[in-house]
Structure 1
Amino acid sequence: MSDEELSYLGELDPDDSTGAAQQIARQLRAAILTGRLKPAEKLPSQPELAAHYGVARETVKRALDALRAERLIVSRQGSGVFVRAQTQRPVELRPHLEAAFEREEVTIDFAGFLGETLQGALAEVLDRVRAGQLAPKRIAIRVMVSDMGVPMALPARADTGADDPTVRERMERISHRSLDAIVDQVHELGDLGLVESATVAVRLHSASPLFKLYIINNSEVFFGFYPVTERTTAHKGEPLAIFDLLGKDVPLFNYQVSEEDTSHGTQFVAASKQWFDSVWDSVAREYQG
């Protein structure tokens, strides 16, 4: 394969302590999860990958073994290695965020519970911008989360199913910490002159959080439901059973705009943008920090 055909793969970073095999696996994983390598598409051969990266075939083999263990690729004897054919299934967000930050203009709209997982997902990508590994020119982020300072149907006490300010207090602290971190981390990029423009707008609303939604570069959406789970937390040293929302590691499903206006992905992205803007412009209110 020519270098042009391998354009979706980058170069190895000699300052990256993770090692060549992990870097190769990370780049191939990102290409698969972001659709640059399509389901059932054949991967470059081990000699081609070894030549592209300037490494031994054994290093490439270790990278492919890692992707095979993640069930992202499958080997066919005598034919090569292929991206596993996949139906709509949960995806990992980070490679898509990294791909989004490869563009000059980055826009992210997020709606969800506390903003904690968004802050975690952004942290590593923003670190790569600081290190000069990603170089967008303009970043614009909008975050819309539930206001834990007002009564909510969820989270709630498990014994009564009712709202309780003591249950929401901890959630509110987590939310404020996450939201403030997002604002500070993004604004820092602008303050350091690493990007031409870096803006973050945060709004709160009074609806209970039941799902999370990411709209990235107005071209793809990640959507996942928050399962309700009963767990025990502590309040003033005493155990308290609550109905909580399972936010971390929620399966996310990806929908992308295609060339067909009537495609399922294109319509889902358009509907998501319309919903987000409608809430943002009506009942959502400015976050005071």
Structure 2
Amino acid sequence: MSSLSPGGNGPNRLDRIRYTLSDWKPRIVKSLLALVAALGVAAELIEPLGNALKGQQLLGGSFAALIALILFDAISESGSKEVPGVYVFADRNNLHDEFREAFEARRVRVDFSGFTMETLLEALAVPLGKMADREVRTVELKLCLIIAHLNLPMGLPGGLVPAPRNGDSDTTKYYFKDSQANRERMREEFTKRNWSKLKVMLNQAQEKNPHMTISCEIRESPQIPERKVYILNQERVFTTPYGIEPDSIEWRGNRFEILDTPGFAPLYGRARYIGWDLRSKSRSTKQIAEHHMECHRNLWKKLADIKPERPVISDPRWTRPRRQDASS
């Protein structure tokens, strides 16, 4: 989890001091090394200076120990310095912490790209509850959500059919293909159900906090997402790849083999979620964050005019409950 000041306005005082020391430490070490080298050369060329330094034992064991200490410190720090603004999470609870922190701002914006919004709802549950109970100072919430269009053929999520056996191998191999039944299951059990849940959550927040401004829109994309993207307040971006997993499921009384995309991110190495902060002092970190945000922004803009012929979500914009309109 990052250490930002309340409201998500940047690193706290302790982190700023730490970053400042980290920035200046290499310069100090280089300056000391240069001074040591200069003294050594001067001692060889200028006899009185050399005699004085020897008299102070600066060219003896203590001086050598000082040089060794400086070199050891420089070498040990060069490989362990963390880049500010880079996040590596092994647990999705860390991502939820980032959502809660983002909702400390007065104006909150969440951009998302993925299949069915399942993990997004989990991350929004606590912050939306706090908004409803006015435990945070948020006055405006904007959600821009891109989801996969599941009414056209696709290979993932898809179906699996046994492939002909090859040689003497006992291992069953499969061909992947589109599965209309699996897409129907994804639409009914996940996409539509999650949209209904999100609308209920927004309705409750608006009902309890009628003066708050809420906007939410879903746009369906023909592009099959390779990973989920979460962008918080146009400042931090987090991504996690989708997995690919064979599975056997039952749907409408029939059992069949599918190729699934696990909704809860698999662990690759020690990382489950990776993030970058646009406010980082590291140029490469800022450029990576900007890259992901611009990709999402470009897709969001294009999907404003490119729509599915048969959308999965028939009402892609959340609207304020009527009873709230009547009482306002």
TM-score band, normalised by the shorter chain?
Answer: 0.5 to 0.7
Counterpart code for 2:176: G
In the alignment, the residues of structure 2 paired with residue 265 and residue 176 of structure 1 have an alpha-carbon distance, to the nearest angstrom, of 36
Structure 2 segments unaligned to the other structure (5+ residues): 19-79, 162-174, 267-271, 316-328
Using the size of structure 1 for normalisation, the TM-score is 0.67
Q: Which of 112, 117, 126 is the matching residue for 1:110? A: 112
Q: Is the 8 A contact 1:233 1:240 kept in 2?
A: yes
Is 1:162 paired with 2:177? yes
Which structure has the greater CA radius of gyration? 2
Q: How does 1:25-36 map to 2 (within 5 A)?
A: 36=12
How far did residue 187 of structure 1 move? 4.2
Residue in structure 2 matched with residue 137 of structure 1 by the alignment: 139
The 1:85–1:182 alpha-carbon spacing in structure 2 relative to 1, beyond 3 Å, is: farther
| SS of aligned partner of 1:89 | strand
Q: Is the 8 A contact 1:154 1:209 kept in 2?
A: no
Using the size of structure 2 for normalisation, the TM-score is 0.59
Q: Which of 242, 245, 259 is the matching residue for 2:258? A: 242
Q: Is the 8 A contact 1:189 1:198 kept in 2?
A: no
In the alignment, the residues of structure 2 paired with residue 207 and residue 221 of structure 1 have an alpha-carbon distance, to the nearest angstrom, of 20
In the alignment, the residues of structure 2 paired with residue 122 and residue 253 of structure 1 have an alpha-carbon distance, to the nearest angstrom, of 19
Q: How does 1:35-184 map to 2 (within 5 A)?
A: 36=12, 89-90=88-89, 92-159=94-161, 160-173=175-188, 174-184=190-200
In the alignment, the residues of structure 2 paired with residue 86 and residue 198 of structure 1 have an alpha-carbon distance, to the nearest angstrom, of 37
Counterpart code for 1:266: K
In the alignment, the residues of structure 1 paired with residue 11 and residue 263 of structure 2 have an alpha-carbon distance, to the nearest angstrom, of 25
In the alignment, the residues of structure 1 paired with residue 279 and residue 217 of structure 2 have an alpha-carbon distance, to the nearest angstrom, of 28
In the alignment, the residues of structure 1 paired with residue 104 and residue 112 of structure 2 have an alpha-carbon distance, to the nearest angstrom, of 19
Structure with greater helix share of residues: 2
Q: Is the 8 A contact 1:146 1:204 kept in 2?
A: yes
In the alignment, the residues of structure 2 paired with residue 85 and residue 288 of structure 1 have an alpha-carbon distance, to the nearest angstrom, of 50
Q: How many residues align?
A: 219
| SS of aligned partner of 1:151 | coil
The 1:141–1:7 alpha-carbon spacing in structure 2 relative to 1, beyond 3 Å, is: closer
Residue in structure 2 matched with residue 79 of structure 1 by the alignment: none
Q: Is the 8 A contact 2:131 2:209 kept in 1?
A: no
The alignment-based identity, stated in percent, is 19
In the alignment, the residues of structure 2 paired with residue 172 and residue 117 of structure 1 have an alpha-carbon distance, to the nearest angstrom, of 16
In the alignment, the residues of structure 2 paired with residue 7 and residue 241 of structure 1 have an alpha-carbon distance, to the nearest angstrom, of 46
Structure 1 segments unaligned to the other structure (5+ residues): 1-5, 10-29, 42-83
Q: Which of 277, 284, 301 is the matching residue for 1:256? A: 277
Q: Which of 225, 236, 239 is the matching residue for 1:220? A: 236
